Amino acid sequence: MAIVKPFRAIRPIKELASKIAALPYDVMDTAEAREMVKDNPYSFLHVDKAQIDLDADVNMYDNVVYEKARDNLNKMIKDKQYIQDEKPCFYIYRQVMNGRGQTGLVACTSIDDYVNNIIKKHELTVEAKELDRVNHVDYCDANTGPIFLTYRANNEISEIVNKWVKKEPIYDFVSEDGNGHIVWLIDDSKVVNKLEKLFKTVEYLYIADGHHRSASAVKVGHLRRVQNESYSGDEEFNFFLSISYPDNELKVLDYNRTVKDLNGLTSREFLQKVEENFVVKHSENNEAVKPAKKHIFGMYLDRSWYELEAKMGTYNDKNPVDRLDVSILQNNILRPILGIEDPRKSSRIAFIGGIRGLKELEKRANTDMKVSFSMFATTIDDIMNIADNGQKMPPKSTWFEPKPRSGLFVHKLK
């Protein structure tokens, strides 16, 4: 039984929504963020990545960064760039990318559901990244970036959403990347209560993207409980900001790999080793290989494309993690041949989101890297099956697009 509750969002005034809404803090580095905001003083990156407003030599994890984030958020509210709804509401958020839409419900979810595994995880987190967002949420006293959740589609919930989106939206704009963003406000108490009850019939929610943000939000919630020993459980710090999408709305993109060297092997020696566990074919007319099904890989080496098909016995089909293509590549090429034991720690490997296209894999292998691999995308079913089994996916297994924008909804913890 999932707890999904309405809240009084702090949200942009309509005239500034398109200027405030920003990509998530973790999809760009500080230099890129500085460039993004140079002509936009309203961007929410001034809150989510506040080091852009400080000297370049300031450590991004210094307390002064979190103080700046808090001050910037408070100033935006004080300057009436934001408003707050008078009563708890739900919000529908639709994104449109290349003609395909995904529509989710913006709400608050329970830190206890996270702890009790009603909100299921499929990735490990890195402590340093968690601590960064713990400090950010703690100083801002707010959840500033929504957690990207999914659930098995529920017809009754979808019917309500589909009916409501026929109304006038509160926001409707196209961001600089060409993606559409449309938001509707659900303020009808009967509909709000109905949605709350319906979500209580949803057995599990699954984190699609935002494992560090969710873990950090939960830690801040527990910190607030220690500070407020007589808490009732209804306080806002017991909940965190999320967007829940039905699984049939989402599309996972491939998350590709490129490697700096062949671990001391010649190209011929490397290909011979690859052929031990894969059927290797030259791509016809040297066309880029975008795998059309699981267990097929593209490989770009010495300006040539190859198609690799994993042989039987290279994976355990009964193990949902072992049969993932990212695992097959790691266990049969990256670790044993290229010597990359832990891709999270190796400086010899880079990960390329599928939205960048296969040309990016070619470019990297032709310049600063040596060999690139294109992957078939992990599926939503893969994610749910692994989470249901209490297992964790390898790092960089999924890439979701479009990504929810930050800054459209802020959830204050008190």
Distance in angstroms (rounded) separating the CA atoms of residues 367 and 352? 15
Longest dimension (CA), the chain: 70
Helix (H) or strand (E) holding 69: helix 63-78
CB 45 within 8 A of CB 37: yes
Distance in angstroms (rounded) separating the CA atoms of residues 170 and 92? 10
Helix, strand, coil share of the chain (percent; to 5): 35, 25, 40
CB atoms within 10 A of CB 345: 9
Distance in angstroms (rounded) separating the CA atoms of residues 49 and 24? 9
Domains of the chain: 4-251+401-412 (no CATH), 255-376 (3.30.1760)
Torsion of CA 341, 345, 347, 348, to 10 degrees: 20
Distance in angstroms (rounded) separating the CA atoms of residues 100 and 249? 9
Helix (H) or strand (E) holding 11: strand 10-12
Distance in angstroms (rounded) separating the CA atoms of residues 411 and 89? 12
> What's the residue count for the chain?
414
Nearest Cα neighbor of 289 from 271, 301, 275, 277 is: 301
Structure tokens at 391: 């297992």
- With 0-12 / 13-18 / 19 or more C-beta atoms within 10 angstroms meaning exposed / middle / buried, residue 106 is buried
CB 399 within 8 A of CB 253: yes
Distance in angstroms (rounded) separating the CA atoms of residues 170 and 168? 7
Distance in angstroms (rounded) separating the CA atoms of residues 17 and 22? 10
Distance in angstroms (rounded) separating the CA atoms of residues 85 and 334? 51
Please report, in tens digits, the pLDDT of each residue of the chain (414 residues total).
899 999 999 999 999 999 999 999 988 899 999 999 999 999 999 999 999 999 999 999 999 999 999 999 999 999 999 999 999 999 999 999 999 999 999 999 999 999 999 999 998 887 888 999 999 999 999 999 999 999 999 999 999 999 999 999 999 999 999 999 999 999 999 999 999 999 999 999 999 999 999 999 999 999 999 999 999 999 999 999 999 999 999 989 999 999 999 999 999 999 999 999 999 999 999 999 999 999 999 999 999 999 999 999 999 999 999 999 999 999 999 999 999 999 988 999 999 988 889 999 999 999 999 999 999 999 999 999 999 999 999 888 988 989 899 999 999 998
* Cβ-proximal residues to 402 (8 Å cutoff; 6+ apart), any chain: 95, 96, 97, 102, 179
The model scores a pTM over 0.85: yes
Structure tokens at 393: 């996916």
Structure tokens at 37: 């905001």
